[in-house]
Amino acid sequence: MSLSEPSAAAIEFMDVDKRFGVAGTPSELIAVRQVSFTVAQGEVVSIVGPSGCGKSTLLNMGSGLTQPNAGVVKVAGQVVSGPNAHVAFMLQKDLLMPWRTIAQNIELGLELRGVKAAERTRVSTALLQQCHLSGFGDRYPHQLSGGMRQRAALARTLAVNPLVLLMDEPFSALDAQTKMILQQDLARTVSEQGKTMLFITHDLTEAVALSDRILVMSERPGTITEQIVVDIPDRHNPMQRRKHARVGDYVAMLMDLLKLDANTQVH
* Parent domain of 130: 89-161
The reply to whether 199 falls in a domain is: yes
User: pLDDT by residue (tens digit) across 174-209?
Assistant: 888 988 988 998 999 899 889 999 999 999 999 999
Tell me, yes or no, whether 36 and 120 share the same domain: no
Q: What pLDDT, on a 0 to 100 scale, did the predictor assign at position 6?
A: 43
77 with 146, same domain? no
The answer to whether residue 250 is domain-embedded is: yes
CATH number of the domain residue 39 falls in: 3.40.50.300
> Are 114 and 242 part of one and the same domain?
no
Number of domains in the chain: 2
41 and 63 within one domain: yes
Is residue 61 assigned to a domain? yes
* Per-residue pLDDT at 27 exceeds 80: no
Q: Same domain, yes or no, for 36 and 143?
A: no
The pLDDT value recorded for residue 226 is 95
Same domain, 59 and 182: yes
Residues 74 and 187 in one domain: yes
pTM over 0.85: yes
118, 135, 161: which is the final residue of a domain? 161
Domain check: are 7 and 106 in the same one? no
267 in any annotated domain: no
- CA–CA distance, 248 with 92 (Å, rounded to integer): 26
Q: Which of 98, 178, 169 has the alpha carbon at shortest distance from 146?
A: 178
Boundary residue ending a domain (104, 132, 161): 161
How much is the pLDDT for 263? 53
The Cα–Cα gap between 34 and 18 comes to 9
pLDDT of residue 261: 59
Q: How far apart are CA 196 and CA 44, in angstroms?
A: 6
Q: Give the domain-ending residue among 108, 133, 161.
A: 161
The answer as to whether 266 is a domain residue is: no
220 belongs to a structural domain: yes
Torsion (CA) 155, 171, 81, 53 in degrees, nearest 10: 180
Clarify whether residues 171 and 249 are in a common domain.
yes
Q: What is the rounded CA–CA span in Å between residue 98 and residue 96? A: 6
Residue 176 shares a structural domain with residue 214: yes
CA pair distance 222, 49, nearest whole angstrom = 9
pLDDT given for residue 110 in this prediction: 93
Q: pLDDT band for 83, please (50, 70, 90 cuts).
A: confident
**In terms of domains, do 73 and 172 share one?**
yes
**How many CB atoms are closer than 10 A to CB 102?**
26
Higher pLDDT, 8 or 122: 122
In this structure, the answer to whether residues 133 and 196 fall within a common structural domain is no
